Amino acid sequence: MPKYISLLRGINVSGQKKIKMADLRGLYSSLGFQNISSYIQSGNLVFDSESSKPALIAGIIQSAIKDTYSFEVPIIVISAQELAEIYYNNPFFADKDTSKLYVAFLKEKSNLNKIDLSKWQTRDEQALIKGKQIYLYYPQGYGKSKLTNNILERELNISATTRNWRTVHKLVELSKD
């Protein structure tokens, strides 16, 4: 059965859109997903599904959350194989401090080549668009950057969610068979 990772955007942040991970794992189980595990409180879940369509899975989860919690949450679902490829193909990994690396996961491919992200970057920050993700390097830290997830969503006009490298690494480890 294929293994997937769901990345929920904007839950349990500043007391907004609260969902306990134990409750979320129970919800996933009620939807027929198996071997469910979560990592930290920000909506990172690894699970098995009989479906081979990540967009369909995301829609099912999104509807169930709306029905259960009465709020909407953007959700990105990727396969374990896709996450491993994102992890092992990070162009900044070899020569950058991994505590300053992030990945913005995009819901879908967009016309990314026409987007100029440099107007929000400091001269030391780097952003590389590759596939449905943006590799980010923030030498001063994510909290000090103007190139935020909200800017990415607004400029690209699609849902996105950003994870630090430690979280990406842990999700790769959790999703190994």
Most confident of 4-8, 13-17, 132-136, 149-153: 4-8
Whether residue 94 sits in one domain with residue 76: no
What CATH number is associated with residue 105?
Answer: 3.30.70
Domain termination residue (choose one: 81, 103, 135): 81
Q: Distance (Å, rounded) from C-alpha 56 to C-alpha 39?
A: 22
pLDDT the model gives residue 10 = 78
Same domain, 108 and 70: no
Over residues 8-62, the pLDDT tens digits come to: 987 877 777 888 999 999 999 999 999 999 999 888 999 999 999 999 999 999 9
Do 29 and 97 have their domain in common?
Answer: no
Instruction: Please tell me whether residues 67 and 104 are part of one structural domain.
Output: no
Q: What is the largest CA-CA distance in the chain?
A: 48
pTM to 2 decimal places: 0.91
Smallest CA-to-CA distance from 73 within 45, 102, 92, 111 is with 45
Domain that holds residue 123: 88-174
Q: Would you state the structure tokens that stand for residue 77, as one six-digit string?
A: 């679902």
